[in-house]
Amino acid sequence: MGTKRDVSRRAILGGMAAAAGAFGFGCSDDNSSSDSDDAALAQASRLASGDLQCDVVVVGAGIAGLVAARALVAQGLSVLVLEARGRVGGRTLNQSLARNGHADRVIELGGQFVGPLPGQGAWPQDKIYNLAAELGIGTFKTYNEGNYVNYGQGLRTTYSSAARVPLDLGTPNLIIALTAFNELAKQVPLDAPWNAPKAAEWDSMTVESWMRQSLLPPGLGPDVPTNHAVQLAVQSVLSTEPREVSLLRWLFYVASAGGLDNLLTTAGGGQDSRFVGGSQRISIAMAEALGDRLHLNAPVRRIQHADGKVKVAGDGYTVTAKRVIVAIPPSLAGRIAYDPPLAALHPRGFLRDQLTQRFPMASVIKVNLVYERPFWRDDGLAGQATSDSGAVRVTFDNTPYPESGSPGVLMGFIEGDEARIWSARTREERYAKVLDDMGRLFGARARAPLGGLQGYYEGLWNLDEWAGGGPTCNQAPGGLIQYRSAVSDPIGLIHWSGTETATRWTGFMDGAVESGQRAAQEVLRALS
């Protein structure tokens, strides 16, 4: 990375400090990389104000919105991107390790993995990979050497990372579920999951209902299978409990990823690789290219149709345009005031309104602990663990690039019910719990991060106003067969984007790219 890029990156990240700090919350707890006297900051984070005009407004500077903006600019259209936060990247968020003496290293508090890479099988995440490559951002392999750890029924075991599943009492049910989910998912058409042969049945039940009727019943005795591994599979993929999600939605998600193995696997799967410099760099690079077309700290409050144009308004500004792309999660898009209401703009506009009432964000906390070095590797461990209990139930080696022996980073997910419990606690309480959990999985050294609490980083997405949870939105039963394509059907001069609207790798950065490209194409066709 050259100096120029570094400066601009800090600049665009900079606004985050104020936004996150003002009310004592936010997904980053360390903003030491910000540099508020940077000239580029003033430009990139200037507030939209007054009456502006352009061809197309893009709401949201996550990957989807930036991809759409980039595509439209490339076609010569005038574009303004309005971002609510003081930073770009949406649900990707880099975190500098400066406070641990590693100012040149970055970890992530949001979405980070990429895989399979092009060439790795039939279902690669080629869209995000190729975009990153165009932007000069490379990838590196997720550390995956040695054994995995599993903690179940009070017992800690290790097993080869080449094994498909951990061996504990949950294994029989996990194998049943893996097989069944993959088979059923094959019957779900990606462009119209509501047309699956059994759509009416699958969208009438939760994943937990399927588990209760299809798995070996748990809890009948000490040698009888439990279903915790299946539960963990759902939690680790969606950050939601199996009770919350429609079976059809889950099968669509599995199909959209090319199968459950892609979702769960590291080498050659969805967690195969990471982006050099952190996944947020992708958004930052696109934002740099957009220059002053991007406005930070500019939440959109209202989208008005008037005189054949669309007026997109926030606190103190209005932008008049020919079209608008709303590239934020459906749950948040529902909080914008539409004038006239969506129901008045199209005979089926009310379906989009009702859909936004039924497409909630999951619950997640992502934690990172920074150590002097990746000590678990000395024990022959990959840093990956699964657990049937505790707050942290899935971990990864998240040591930043380039690796040089120091530091080492363990990352963990707190998901679903646990995320709701621990989001309500203090940072200190979470830290103590995470140390306990990591200690149980990786031994005493895991309890001593660099500088204690200073070595603890957390992404509190449930507390982030502009996320409302994380990592993605899921549908309860009925969501797909009742609302079908309302998540992406244009209404009036409004087009919808965001990874929740994608057909392939929905919920992932790759799906975000697809959705941004698709929305841009819609707009280009409409304006040609």
Cβ distance to its own copies smaller for residue 44 or 184: 184
227, amino acid identity: N
Cβ distance to its own copies smaller for residue 171 or 462: 462
Cα separation, 405 vs 510, in Å, equals: 31
Cβ distance to its own copies smaller for residue 208 or 510: 208
Q: Could you tell me the two tokens for 1?
A: 């990375």
Cβ distance to its own copies smaller for residue 343 or 524: 343
Cβ distance to its own copies smaller for residue 378 or 465: 465
Please name the residue that has the structure tokens 């009742």. 482
Going by C-alpha positions, the residue among 272, 276, 274, 298 that lies closest to residue 285 is 276
Cβ distance to its own copies smaller for residue 117 or 205: 205
Cβ distance to its own copies smaller for residue 66 or 391: 391
Cβ distance to its own copies smaller for residue 258 or 470: 470
Q: Which residues bind its own copies (CB under 8 A)?
A: 22-25, 201, 203-206, 208-209, 212-213, 241-244, 299, 301, 331, 334-335, 337, 340-341, 343-344, 347-348, 350-351, 353-354, 357-361, 363, 417, 420, 423-425, 462-465, 468-469, 476-478, 482
Cβ atoms < 10 Å from Cβ of 101 = 13
Cβ distance to its own copies smaller for residue 281 or 366: 366
Cβ atoms < 10 Å from Cβ of 5 = 15
Cβ distance to its own copies smaller for residue 241 or 272: 241
Is there a contact between 322 and 309 (Cβ–Cβ < 8 Å)?
Answer: yes
Kindly state the smallest distance separating residue 51's Cβ from its own copies, in Å: 17
Going by C-alpha positions, the residue among 260, 480, 450, 290 that lies closest to residue 373 is 450
Complete DSSP assignment for 225-254 = --SHHHHHHHHHHHSS-TTTSBHHHHHHHH
Cα separation, 197 vs 478, in Å, equals: 15
Cβ distance to its own copies smaller for residue 169 or 361: 361
262, amino acid identity: N
Residues in the chain: 528
Kindly state the smallest distance separating residue 241's Cβ from its own copies, in Å: 6
Kindly state the smallest distance separating residue 317's Cβ from its own copies, in Å: 15
Q: Could you tell me the two tokens for 166?
A: 């951990």
Q: Could you tell me the two tokens for 39?
A: 């000239």
Kindly state the smallest distance separating residue 74's Cβ from its own copies, in Å: 34
Q: Could you tell me the two tokens for 234?
A: 């759902």
Kindly state the smallest distance separating residue 309's Cβ from its own copies, in Å: 17
- Which residues contact residue 450 at a Cβ distance below 8 angstroms, ignoring those fewer than 6 apart? 100, 101, 370, 371, 372, 407
Dihedrals phi, psi of 119, to nearest 5 degrees: 100, -20
**Element holding 482 (H helix, E strand):** helix 479-483
Cβ distance to its own copies smaller for residue 366 or 440: 366
Kindly state the smallest distance separating residue 259's Cβ from its own copies, in Å: 25
Task: Provide the β-strand partners of residue 275.
Answer: 139
- Which residues contact residue 403 at a Cβ distance below 8 angstroms, ignoring those fewer than 6 apart? none
Cα separation, 297 vs 203, in Å, equals: 39
Cα separation, 91 vs 329, in Å, equals: 10
517, amino acid identity: Q
Cβ distance to its own copies smaller for residue 248 or 502: 248
Cα separation, 476 vs 208, in Å, equals: 12
CA angle 132, 137, 139 (to 5 degrees): 90
Is there a contact between 218 and 258 (Cβ–Cβ < 8 Å)?
Answer: no
Kindly state the smallest distance separating residue 426's Cβ from its own copies, in Å: 8
Q: Strand (E) positions, 374-434?
A: 381-387, 392-397, 408-415
